[in-house]
Amino acid sequence: PAPIPAQLLPCRVRHDGPAPVAAFMRVRTGPDGELWASFRGRRLGGRDLPLPPGYRGVLLRGGEPGEPPLCDLGDPQPRWVSVWGSFETIRDWGADAAPAPGRGLARALQWGTLAREV
């Protein structure tokens, strides 16, 4: 699968699918490595967070009508998905400020390494 950028915004965007993000968000790097942009006039601060070692994020897409499902055909609701893209970092955005390094998504991503150790 092709590498794709993954971004977590502090708002709801009523769109499902590809978008020309670079046309709407011009990202600048701050003095401490944080990222700054604006979206619909709202200031955003962000950080790139790598996934834990051994993990990879994937973007899944539902199957096209007429294509065979990749599941038990006896399933009352046969469905299938395919991997459309993958990512190894997530750009985490916060409203008006960059998310703190040890909180929120950054903290949640620590669980992958902890789970492996347990």
Closest to 38 measured CA to CA, from 28, 51, 30: 28
Inform me whether the pLDDT recorded for 56 exceeds 80: yes
Question: How far, in Å, CA of 58 to CA of 86, rounded?
Answer: 4
Inform me whether the pLDDT recorded for 24 exceeds 70: yes
Inform me whether the pLDDT recorded for 23 exceeds 70: yes
Question: How far, in Å, CA of 67 to CA of 53, rounded?
Answer: 34
- For the entire predicted model, the pTM comes to 0.74
List C-alpha distances in Å: 44 to 13, 37, 38, 48, 65: 15, 5, 5, 13, 39
What local confidence, expressed as pLDDT, does residue 74 receive?
61
Domains of the chain, earliest start first: 6-58+87-115 (2.40.128.680)
Average pLDDT over the chain, rounded to an integer: 82
What local confidence, expressed as pLDDT, does residue 90 receive?
94
